[in-house]
Amino acid sequence: MWLSVDPQIIPPKELVGMILDVDAIKFRANPINPININMISKIIPDHFYRLFPNSLTIGTAFVSVILCIIGTALYRRYKYFERCNKIPGPPAQIPLFGSITEFFLEPEGYLPHGLKLFRTWSKNSVIRAWIGPLALFAVGSAEGVEVVFGSSKMIDKSREYNFLHPWLATGLLTSTGRKWHQRRKLLTPTFHFKILEDFVHVFNEQSVVLVEKLNEKIAQDFDIFPYITRCTLDVICETAMGRHVNAQNNTDSEYVTAIYKMTRIVQTRQTRPWLQPDWLFRLFPMEAEQRRCLSILHGFTDHMIRERKIEQKQRQKDKQKQSESLLGDEYFSKKPRLAFLDLLIEASQDGKVLSDLDIREEVDTFIVTYQGHDTTAAAISWSLFLIGNHPKVQEQVSEELTRVFGDSDRQVTMADLSELKYLECCIKEALRLYPSVPLMARELMEDTTICGYDIPTGSTVMVVPFIVHRDPTYFPDPEIFKPERFFPENSQSRHPYAYVPFSAGPRNCIGQKFAMMEEKIILASVLRRFHVKALDKPENIAVLAEIILRPRDGVRLHLTAKIQK
């Protein structure tokens, strides 16, 4: 035993293997672990051993601790369950699986079913669903949205955004806390109206290419969605990096294909639980495909950053030369076309404020970003779908376009944009019925009361514009497309959180002015040349609520060329 103090003293052979009883403490004697019984009693007082619990006591204590932990967890769980169940929502049909069977549907069924559940259960505009053992809360009223979006504390994105991290790391869209605050402050000036003015020519140039492509489709039935997506991708790449990627002409460019593949991978991971843990994802071939795509995408942005930095240095040298030589040469005084990337390089102060990696995060965020091109593509396509379904609206749009542009085929100017008021109402109404971002989720950092319901810390709260925008209190006959709702006299007194296609509050869309300008210019360019007829009706179209709200079978249109007078 461990109490050997004198290696010289070994119990007699006959004692080996026997139990020695020393003052009620039992020892087994053996030659390797000899015991000096005298020493034991001398060094350690007997009552010390009585303090030691025996194995039964240890076992009982261990089991009691475990039972205590389980009991506390179950009690907390019960309290959580009780608390969440005070909020109306479908009951948990299967323990541990919750109300998940409500969502055993085809993807196009999610939004209509969600809307139905909401109307059945929601008394006060908040609904609870059990997704597995966790409660999920959805907010569908302007008053509830105000609590979520109006708060400066509820700015943490939910875990679905994590699958964008390998691509975007933690840029403006995906970051949180201090980093997000600093970036938002730094990037806000790059979306100033004056800077956006410089991008009008890009919107126009890419619209011209789009119209050329659409000319080839006259009098055919076709899906316009991919054409618009390639156009908005060209726009965002040129405005973000100052480079043509030529997606409209070169549909199988390596960079463009990598963007589409990566977008698909992120969306697949968001909807398949078994692809979500990184260690499991590594076992699937999709992970290798992701690595290939990322090497192309990051490689391209890195190359752009290096190139633009060299160009910027050259420009500075040229400027210096100009002031030294006093030439006033037209070449030197020509204003260079700046992209977001140039503004970021300037803001980086030679790496003191932003490293090259930080710049890449932000450029990729704008481009990828569903935010940068997919959202705008969806908004333009849905607008064409609705205008193509409503001949009277289309007539009014055409009248406005003729009033502003007459017979000329000149490009759209900044001044024209403020004249296209009715078109703007059509875009807003299309974003009401088909908000490009159909739902947004936040993680609650503290207990929060929403519409009178007490929602516990750590819960995920979703705002669903698709539902919020269909509240008959603010939008009577909500399913009807009526651009007039957005006439100033009809929208002035509306609740400010009743219409939130660009989110609202501190974490709203930084690119909304950019998006509205781009949409107006592309739509005006298409509708000046073509008459559009939608081939599907809103009541028959299948809508998918992915990160972006998409029509499952695209936006099928029939174009007729307008007669140029």
| In the complex, minimum distance from the CB of residue 518 to ligand HEM, in angstroms, rounded to a whole number | 7
Q: Cβ of residue 365: shortest distance to ligand HEM, in angstroms?
A: 5
Greatest distance between any 2 Cα atoms in the chain: 123
Among 135, 148, 233, 509, binds ligand HEM (CB under 6 A): 509
- Region 353-372 residues binding ligand HEM, contact defined as CB under 6 A: 365-366, 369, 371-372
Count of alpha carbons within 13 angstroms of residue 52, beta-carbon side:
10
Beta bridge partners, 460, equal: 136, 443
Least Å from the CB of residue 145 to ligand HEM: 12
Quickly count: other Cβ atoms within 10 Å of residue 53's Cβ. 11
Q: Is 172 in the site for ligand HEM (CB under 6 A)?
A: yes
Of residues 371 and 525, the one with the C-beta less far from ligand HEM: 371
**3-state SS assignment for residue 136:** strand
By CB under 6 A, residue 184 contacts ligand HEM: yes
Q: Is 507 in the site for ligand HEM (CB under 6 A)?
A: yes
Helix axes 225-241, 340-348, angle to 10 degrees: 30
Q: Alpha-carbon distance 437 to 427, whole Å?
A: 15
CB under 6 A: which stretch of 5-13, 51-59, 446-454, 504-512 binds ligand HEM?
A: 504-512
Candidates 10, 35, 173, 412: give the one binding ligand HEM (CB under 6 A): 173
408/406 Cα distance (integer angstroms): 6
| Rounded distance between C-alpha atoms, residue 259 and residue 511, angstroms | 20
Q: Which amino acid makes up residue 103?
A: F
The residue (of 127 and 500) whose beta carbon lies closer to ligand HEM is: 500
Tokens describing residue 426:
């059509």
Of 519, 491, 514, which Cα lies nearest the Cα of 384?
A: 519
CB of 366 to ligand HEM, least distance (A): 5
Site mask for ligand HEM (CB under 6 A), range 446-485, x = bound: ----------------------------------------
Q: Which region among 71-79, 454-462, 499-507, 527-535 touches ligand HEM (by CB under 6 A)?
A: 499-507
Minimum separation from the CB atom of position 363 to ligand HEM (A): 11
Q: For residue 20, give both structure tokens.
A: 């020695």
Asked if 450 and 139 count as a contact pair (C-beta separation under 8 A), the reply is yes
Q: Is 451 annotated as a binding residue?
A: no
Closer residue to ligand HEM, CB minimum distance, 135 or 517: 517
Q: Please report whether residue 308 would count as binding ligand HEM according to CB under 6 A.
A: no
Q: Which residue is nearest to ligand HEM (CB)?
A: 511
- If you write DSSP's letter for every residue of 451-504 in order, what string do you get? TTEEE-TT-EEEE-HHHHTT-TTTSSSTTS--GGGGSHHHHTTS-TTS--TT--
Query: Where does residue 494 fall: left (phi above 0), alpha (psi -120 to 50 degrees), or beta otherwise?
Result: beta
Q: How many residues bind ligand HEM (CB under 6 A)?
A: 24
Using CA atoms, how far apart are residues 379 and 429, in angstroms rounded to an integer?
10
**Whole-angstrom distance, CA of residue 271 vs CA of residue 251:** 27
> Does the protein bind ligand HEM through residue 436 (CB under 6 A)?
yes
Sole window of 9-17, 62-70, 110-118, 498-506 interacting with ligand HEM (rule: CB under 6 A): 498-506
| Binding site, annotated residues for heme | 509
User: Binding residues for ligand HEM, per CB under 6 A?
Assistant: 157, 172-173, 184, 365-366, 369, 371-372, 375-376, 379, 436-437, 440, 501-503, 507, 509-511, 514-515
